[in-house]
Amino acid sequence: MHIRAYMRASTDEQDAQRAKGALQEFARDHGVRVAAWYWENESGASLTRPELFRLLDDCEAGDVLLLEQVDRLSRLNEADWLKLRADIEARGVLIVAQDLPTSWTQLKRDESGEFMRRMMGAVNGMLLDMLAAVARKDYEDRRRRQAEGIAKAKAAGAYRGRAVDTAKRAAIRQALDKGMPWQWIQTNLECSRATIASVSKELAKQQRCNGGTAAL
C-alpha cells in the first residue's frame, strides 16, 4: 500500500502546499509514510485537474489517496462527483481524509476482517457523498454571494475587478516562448492551467498580428 497525498488550491494566489505539514504530522501519528506528493492550483468544481489524475494513474489497487479535507477532492456537481468516485473505486484506490475519521481505519486494513472492511467501506462511501454535497453547496453559495456583491458594486460604480498579476503573466509568457511544458510552468511558477491557457492565447494572437503586419 502506497500513500499519495493530494493538495489543491483554487487560485494562483493561494498556496496549494499549505496543508503539507499537517498531512505529514497526520501520517506520523498513524504510523505511516507519504510516498508521493501532488499539488495543483485548480478549481475543485472542475474535473480538469491534471495532477489529481496523474496521482490516480500512479496508483495501484489498495493505494491510499490522502487529503486534508474532502472538499480538496471535490466541489463537483453530482454527475461529475459520481463519475470521479466511480473512477477512483474502479482503480481500487482508498480515500482517507483528515476531516473524515471513519476513513482513518483504512490505514490499518490488515488489522480488520473482511466484514469490517466492507462495513466501513459502505459507511465511508455514504459520508464521502454527504461531504461532497456539502462542499458543492458551499461552493454554490459563495459564488452566489460573490455575484451579488459584484452586482451591488457595479450598481454603485465601485467595481474594479480582480487585479492582474502582470509579473507572473510575463514570466509565463517567457516560459512559453522558450517552449517549456505547461506542467513545468504550472509547478515552478505556481499558476493554474487556466492562466497558462490565457497567456498562451494572448501570445498566439499577438504572433498572428505581428505576422500580418510583417506581410504588409
Looking at residue 123, what is its pLDDT?
76
pLDDT of residue 36: 96
Instruction: Please tell me the predicted confidence (pLDDT) of residue 6.
Output: 96
Matching residue, cell 515552478:
188
| DSSP β-bridge partners for residue 64 | 3, 94
pLDDT value at residue 216: 47
Tell me the three state secondary structure of residue 62. Answer: coil
CA distance 4 to 30: 15
Give yes or no for a contact between 95 and 124, defined as CB atoms under 8 angstroms apart.
yes
Alpha helices in the chain, H assignment, sequence order: 20-29, 50-58, 78-90, 114-155, 166-177, 182-189, 193-215
Positions annotated as catalytic residues are 10
Dihedral Cα 134, 18, 4, 138, nearest 10 deg: 10
Task: Give per-residue pLDDT as tens, 126-143.
Answer: 888 888 888 788 878 887
Handedness of CA 150, 155, 160, 161 (dihedral sign): positive
Query: What is this structure's pTM?
Result: 0.68
Q: Which amino acid is at 204?
A: A
CA dist., res. 156 & res. 135, Å (int): 32
Low-confidence ranges of the chain (pLDDT < 50): 215-216
pLDDT value at residue 117 = 67
Q: Which cell is 153 given?
A: 458594486
